[in-house]
Structures are given as C-alpha cells and as structure tokens.
A = this chain, B = another copy of it.
Amino acid sequence: METSSIEIERAATILKLLGDKTRLTMLKMLDSHDYCVCEFVEIFKVSQPAISQHVRKLKDAGLVGETRRGQWIIYSLNKESDVFPLVQNLMNHLPNQDFKLQELEEQGLRISCE
C-alpha cells in the first residue's frame, strides 16, 4: 500500500519542479529516449538559454543526468534518484510524447546530434 516514502518538503520541491509544462514534457520525453539540448530547443518554442535553465533545474534536483558526446550534451533520466519511483509513477499518467520525436525526424532536425 505504501511505497518507501519521501519527506513532504522534498516531495513538494519535486512537484513544484514538475509543475511546469515544459519540464514535465521534457521528463516524459526522457522516459522513452535521451535528448540533447538542441533537440529540446527545436521542440519547445523557447530560446536556447530557457531550455538550458530548465534542464539545469532538473539536473540540480537530481532528476536527470548529463553526458557529453562531442559538442553535444545528452540528458537522460536519472533512475538512481530517490524520487525516481514517484516520478516514474507520475509519468504513467501522462500521454506518450514520442510524436514530438517523429516531428523532429520529419523535419530532418534529429540528425544533428547523432
């Protein structure tokens, strides 16, 4: 009935982070694929610094990790996070976002980071 529980204050911090359409969508996307910043920039209609700031917040909270690959930085879900079970659980209530990846591919914008 009760999974291992998270301090309420920490949970509130995490939920506030996810209470933003852009970051929530990012996380759901990362649930099926890794993404680089430039892809996020193409997908969301905001500036590159805005995207950098969003991923930074997710990273500071320990929700995502980054790996450099050449000049690109690839972000991925951090499955080791203590709040990963909660996040994962949440994600199951959200619609799949793979269509965004498909749109990218149709526009030939996915190739860039490979």
Contact = CB atoms under 8 A, between A and B. Distances in A.
Interface of A: 1-9, 11-21, 24-25, 28, 85-86, 89-90, 92-97
A90 B92 contact: no
Question: A interface, by DSSP: helix, strand, loop or mixed?
Answer: helix
A5 B93 contact: yes
A106 B72 CA distance: 59
Given A93-B3, A94-B5, A19 B13 contact: yes
A81 to B, nearest CB: 13
B8 A15 contact: no
Contacts of A86: 90, 93
Contact of A90 (B16, B20, B90): B90
A12 B5 contact: no
Contacts of A15: 15-16, 18-19, 24, 90
